[in-house]
Amino acid sequence: MTADAKKLINSANLQGPAGDVFPSQPVATLRVFLTALGRLGYDLQALRNAAGVTEDQLENPEGRVPCNIPAVICEAMRRDPSKHLGVKVAAQTPIGAFRLLDYLIVTCETVGEGMHQLARYLRLSEAPFSVEIRDEEDPIRIVYLGIKDSFLAEFEVALTIFHLRGETESSFHAEYVSFTHDPGDVAEIEPSLGCPVRTKAAWLGLVVSPATWQLPLRRRDPVLHSVLRRNADELASRLADEDAVVHDLRRMLTNRLRQGDSDIATVARSMASSVRSLQRRLAAAGTSYQEVLDGTRREAADQYLSDVALSTSEVAYLLGYSEPAAFHRAFKRWHGSTPHEYRLRRVPQR
């Protein structure tokens, strides 16, 4: 690999949770990136292997898979280093790739209303960031908060521009784009984005004029939008019912399982809580410590078994089981088969 290629891969600065143990995500989200990269000519089998998923797993529209998008992008960059890959992937991602969220936006009356829908319902896509609309300013700012890697920064900003440009019959344009990183050679992407690009700025996002904010969207449909909003509100209310403690506990367990420490007392202490307080909050959210632990182990088991270098005994150890037999019993309860049988079905055999 050349020095320039290594520099490009490093510049992606893709980050996962501590310890590189990734939580799960909807399979539809991973499929968006794999499909776009396939259109760009990347080897899909190699990218699926990097993600630790099989083609069968990607066929389940309601399924969940390990959140290994950073591994997919790094594998793509390793095979074919490319500047501004996030912008190129965004150009290959059509409206509807993110289903409900996309159509909530495009059925709005104006660009501004659509962006407010994005900010309000983004959490439905389980995105690891948020969007803040500052329409009291002139010009108006769309700010992305919580994005730490350059690929995702370029992808999200470019996707917003490309989709709004298409939905306004090419009338939409940003005043400028603001990146907190230095994408290098901005002259190469400015024509695609249709505006100046500022780098190493204090915030990430784009700026639009009040006139652009009021542009009508070509697929505006108040009746359809009303139906979609009711569905979105119902989904959002379900998410709100799950107390934040469940989310925090899952993230904590995901990082601790590899250390072989899932003891409730240790985990509660790490969350600055007592065992009794943690149990009480989980009960209020309609679950228990054992249920959350069981679900987290199940997701991690599916990920680990995709790595044929790990024996089932090693997977059991990584999941915090004291003996392989306990893991086998739990796995048969989850999938109706043994870990070995599951691996034979899911992992392509060489």
Q: What is the pLDDT of residues 164-201, one digit of tens each?
A: 999 999 999 999 999 999 998 899 999 999 999 999 99
117 and 152 in a single domain? The answer is: yes
Which of the pair, 74 or 68, is modelled with greater confidence?
Answer: 74
Domain region containing 256 = 242-346
260 and 306 in a single domain? The answer is: yes
Say if 46 falls within a structural domain.
yes
> Which stretches of the chain are assigned E, i.e. beta strand?
24-26, 64-66, 130-134, 140-145, 176-178, 197-198, 204-208
Say if 247 falls within a structural domain.
yes
- State how many domains the chain has: 3
- Within 13 Å, how many C-alpha atoms sit on residue 338's CB side? 8
Q: How far apart are CA 18 and CA 16, in angstroms?
A: 7
pLDDT per residue as tens digits for the range 117-150: 999 999 888 888 899 999 999 999 999 998 988 9
Say if 177 falls within a structural domain.
yes
Say if 163 falls within a structural domain.
yes
The pTM of this model reads 0.67
Position 235 confidence tier, pLDDT thresholds 50, 70, 90: confident
224 and 115 in a single domain? The answer is: yes
302 and 328 in a single domain? The answer is: yes
Q: Over 90: is that where the pLDDT of 332 sits?
A: no
Say if 7 falls within a structural domain.
no
116 and 226 in a single domain? The answer is: yes
